Amino acid sequence: MNILLINQAFVSPDEPGHTRHFELAKFLQSRGHELVIVASDLNYQTGQRTVVRKGIFTEQIIDGVRVLRAYIYPALHRSYFWRIISFFSFMFSSVWTAFQVRDVDLILGTTPPIFQAVSAWFVAWIRRKPFLLEVRDLWPEFGVSMGVLKNPLMIGLGRWLEKFLYARATHILVNSPAYKDYMIGKGVHESKVTFIAYGTDIEMFNPSVDGSSIRAELGLRDKFVVLYAGALGQANDIDTILRAAERLKSNDKIHFVLFGDGKERPRLQNEAERMNLSNVIFAGVRPKKDMPRVVASADVCLAILQDIPMFRTTYPNKVFDYMAAGRATVLVIDGITRQLIEDSYGGAYVQPNDDQQLSETILDLSKNPDIVKQMGLNAREYLVKHLDRRDKLNETLDLLMRLVKKT
């Protein structure tokens, strides 16, 4: 099969961020298929250019994977208005770029942002090919719930596009069981939606990885390290982490390390300085290939989102990596991820937006290393049994082959 993916936020192993589509491309390659990726020329976390582009797009070959880097207006970390302008710019440049790829059997679109999925639908419609819509987050509902989308016209457009794409997709792939329930509630037939969790690479993230070099680099050899790895955006509620750190700053053993970047990072760093938080380190970004050592440097790992009902439907990918690495998760997200952590006995749940409970939980864990270790072992065992990415990639391949064979 020859599959074309349009994904503005595609990440290679040399960039910070989630590399799921690169891993899918390598897996398909090993099975005799090809995934060609149309991506933007900006990294979505840093907002920095990834290539020197000439013309509308530039072609890269990354470890055998063909990536066409299309133009995007560089405004991902500006206002939300300018972010939408940026999304639209990629929407149009990606269509032009996608038509340069020949011999395509299936078009894969992904959302958010929702506009790039419209590009994928259009290319599939013109070429008369199956259109698989991958839904990674529920937009525009997440944006409305967060208060990011307030303009009635934009909300109406987003919901119209959502309905349009659900109706015209040949099939829909979701990474959360709650997303499937949401779509059925929107009138999508159950048979049209497949749930496949992302899982994680259990060989890449495993308890044998040595994170001591990261600890040494940060000057935290003998500390209790609480790690957050991921985006520093409005959805992530890093302010609650800062307030918990303030409660614990008299304890020189506990340190919070934040790896990542995003629109909120400058404000958060200024806030940490204002609060005189010497126990918080903004450690910058690392490429995905370095993340196993980063996670291995932690005693416990944090996953946190704003206290918004819609976020109870989502699986943060970082939690899978934490679990595979044999690290206990302090989870500040209610819903299906809480169920995952509780079913695996792989961590501790904290009520969202409750910095007092978060600080107390971390303090308690820092005094009980045996419990922390057992949580990590439990998490790893559960992850290997239920969320091994090799199994999930095989399920994805089966779905792709079924869709292609129908045409």
Distance of alpha carbon 359 from alpha carbon 347, whole angstroms: 15
Residue partners of 75: CB distance under 8 A and separation at least 6: 82, 83, 85, 86
140: preceding bond cis by omega (within 30 degrees): yes
86's enclosing H/E stretch is helix 80-98
For residues 19 and 15, give the distance between their C-alpha atoms in angstroms, rounded to a whole number: 9
Q: Which of 205, 217, 128, 121 is nearest to 169 (CA)?
A: 121
The encoded tokens of residue 406 equal 């129908």
Q: Are 165 and 114 within 8 A, CB to CB?
A: yes
Q: CA–CA separation, 236 vs 175, rounded Å?
A: 19
pLDDT at position 146 is 85
172 CB-near residues (< 8 Å, 6+ apart): 132, 133, 134, 135, 166, 183, 188, 192, 193, 194
Closest CA to 193 of 210, 176, 209, 205: 176
Q: What are phi and psi for residue 217, nearest 5 degrees?
A: -60, -35
CATH of domain 2-199+388-405: 3.40.50.2000
Rounded-to-integer distance, Cα 306 and Cα 115, Å: 24
CATH architecture of 212-386: 3-Layer(aba) Sandwich (3.40)
Q: Which of 179, 178, 235 is nearest to 353 (CA)?
A: 235
* Residue 106 bridge partners (DSSP): 3
pLDDT computed for residue 101 by the predictor: 95
Could you tell me what percent of the chain has a pLDDT over 90?
Answer: 80
Strand partners, 228: 258, 302
Phi, psi (5° rounding) for residue 241? Answer: -65, -45
| Placement of tokens 């969320």 in the chain | 387
**Could you tell me where in the chain the CATH 3.40.50.2000 domains are found?**
2-199+388-405, 212-386
> How many other CB atoms sit within 10 Å of the CB of residue 324?
27
d(CA 58, CA 97): 9
Mean pLDDT by 10-residue block, N- to C-terminus, for the chain (407 residues)?
Answer: 96 87 96 96 80 84 95 76 84 95 96 92 97 93 85 88 95 96 94 95 95 96 96 93 97 96 93 97 93 97 94 93 98 96 97 97 98 98 96 97 88
Query: Pairing relation of β-strands 224-229 and 300-304?
Result: parallel
Could you give the 3-state DSSP secondary structure of residue 89? helix
Residue type, 5: L
